[in-house]
Amino acid sequence: MNLKKYRTKSPWILHYNTGSCNGCDVEILACLAPKYDIERFGILNRGNPKQSDILLVTGPVTKRARERLIRLYMEMPEPKVVVAVGVCACTGGVFRGMYNVENGVDKFIPVDVYVPGCAARPENIIDGVVRALEILEKKKKDLQLTRKCTGTEELEYLLGKQLNRRKIVAEGTRRCYESRRD
Amino acid sequence: MGNRITIPFGSQHVALPEPIRFVFQTENEKIVDVEVDVGYVHRGIEKACMTKFKYTQVGYVVARVCGLCAISHTLGYVTAVERLMEIEVPKKALYLRLLVSELDRVHSHLLAMGHLAEVAGYENLFMHTFRDRELVMELQELVTGNRIQFDYATVGGVNRDLSLEVERELREKLKDLQERCLWLKDVFENDYTIKLRWKGIGVITPEMARELNVVGPPARASGLATDARNEFNYLPFKEVGYKLITMKDGDIYARNMVRAEETLNSLEMIFNLLDGMPEGDIKVPVKGLPEGEAFVRIEAPRGELFYYLKGSKKLILDRLRIKVPTFSNIPVMKELFIGMDYADVPATVISFDPCLSCTAR
């Protein structure tokens, strides 16, 4: 069964507030409400980082939220996309330079899409998520290229055509484990 | 007794849009101890207002303390400065401020009610409440130009006038909204399962409320007649038909009903206000610099908001102190949790409508 096709169409969201004023958080909540119903596109808001593809961050990064933000990012499986919602998450906004604030999310984790606005409008947030989907698709392709087992041509050449496929796979697996041990 | 189990709730949780951390110690599903940690969103706004921003800009900065009650924070600051500098604000500006602050209260209360329904497991009711809330957001956009974080009030008046077309549209949509709010109130009041779930849970007795200084809808739900709109004269509330709403039970159900009644009262006030809108300017020029001290009490949607201000004839203020409603409600929350079932915790937390962004600043 080819699950790949369906997974691209149901991206799940993880939402984390790193010190915003609740304005952008309420707009994300409004995105789930019937007027801008993003659930009809299969975009669900999940609290679990291990199930999510897109990380929505709102607010300037405060010093205490920093560790949680990095940890949540690390817990998400690859491929993943980060969307910074609101000016505070993009650059720090009005909170820029305050003593407990670190001016924007991109100082700590790589950000793929920036959504401006104070507070960011639901239309803009949905637009940002849709942009993020394209990037997610691209990242997935890159990931597939790097995961491909290299050296299969060499393997086939060494073992020759007369050996059956099972033996080739077994030899490949053995080599793979050997390389892992290094 | 069973084993002691430690359950962390937050700082990142599905039911909470904001980072707050509770650490519960439970014994056989009963909570025996709880720790509350609210400092995840501290940004240092008070310090910045005293060092970075001019006194004319501070109104827009304190609006960013909280996105939900932005107008309340701005109103608190602006009223304090006007009292210091003895500026007489035109009556039309006061009425327009009242209009926006009541619209803000309606949207905040609807959000709290919807969120409470979602946490208790009524997904459909949550969706209904949020659909009706969108109408208020549209009205706010119509009047002020932005859905949330409208920088409407300024020192000496308001920033935008109300045109005739907007007023007509406002009346039409408000009628629709009032009908929907009546329907919502009916559902929240009469639904059988909601009563089973919320009645008698998380009860604050009047003595407890008085002793621990509870403010806002939780206080009024347990019978305390505290409302800054009634006690402190900052906007002409009594001219437009303000009613003090109290209930006796003090449980989650009563808190929700206080919110529902206040929503209807706010809508009534907006209708009266549109009928009696005075003519005149919306803004007066501001001269001079603030000198002296002033304090102001504002009724934000969640309760009493306190602003203290000190200036000494400089562009930058000497001191700005904000005391927010959730800060007053945290001690009683802690008191309530001990001896409660763990399953009732999310509904009780949300029934206070906590705003951590305000609390940590």
C-alpha to C-alpha distance for B106 and B263, rounded to whole angstroms: 5
CB distance from A119 to chain B under 8 Å? yes
Q: A3-138 sits in which CATH class? A: alpha beta
Q: What is the mean pLDDT for each group of 10 consecutive residues in chain B (361 residues)? A: 75 71 80 80 84 85 84 88 86 88 88 84 86 87 85 85 86 88 88 83 85 87 84 84 85 88 88 85 84 87 87 85 86 82 80 82 78
Total count of residues recorded for chain A: 182
Using CB atoms, pick whichever of A64, A100, A121 lies closest to residue B44: A100
Q: Contact, A115 vs A83, CB < 8 A? A: yes
Q: Give me the residue spans of the domains in chain A.
A: 3-138, 150-179
Tens digit of each residue's pLDDT (9 = 90 or more) over A81-90? 888 888 888 8
3-state class (DSSP) for residue B153: strand
Taking CB atoms and an 8 Å cutoff, what residues of chain B touch A46?
A: 14
Taking CB atoms and an 8 Å cutoff, what residues of chain B touch A97?
A: 48, 52
C-alpha to C-alpha distance for A157 and A139, rounded to whole angstroms: 32
3-state class (DSSP) for residue B361: coil
- Are B131 and A19 a contacting pair at CB < 8 A? no
- Tokens representing residue B167 in the block: 């007023």
pLDDT per residue rounded down to tens, chain A (182 residues)? 666 666 556 788 888 888 888 888 888 888 888 888 888 777 887 778 888 888 888 888 888 888 888 888 888 887 888 888 888 888 888 888 888 888 888 888 888 888 888 888 888 888 888 888 888 877 777 666 544 455 566 666 656 655 666 776 777 777 767 766 54
- Are A62 and B66 a contacting pair at CB < 8 A? no
Those of residues 142-171 in A touching chain B at CB distance below 8 A are none
Q: Give me the residue spans of the domains in chain B.
A: 4-359
Q: Which CATH superfamily is domain B4-359 in?
A: Cytochrome-c3 Hydrogenase, chain B (1.10.645.10)
| 0.85 surpassed by complex ipTM | no
B66 is in an annotated binding site: yes
Question: What Cα–Cα distance (Å) separates residue B281 from each residue in B94, B102, B122, B156, B344?
Answer: 11, 21, 47, 11, 51
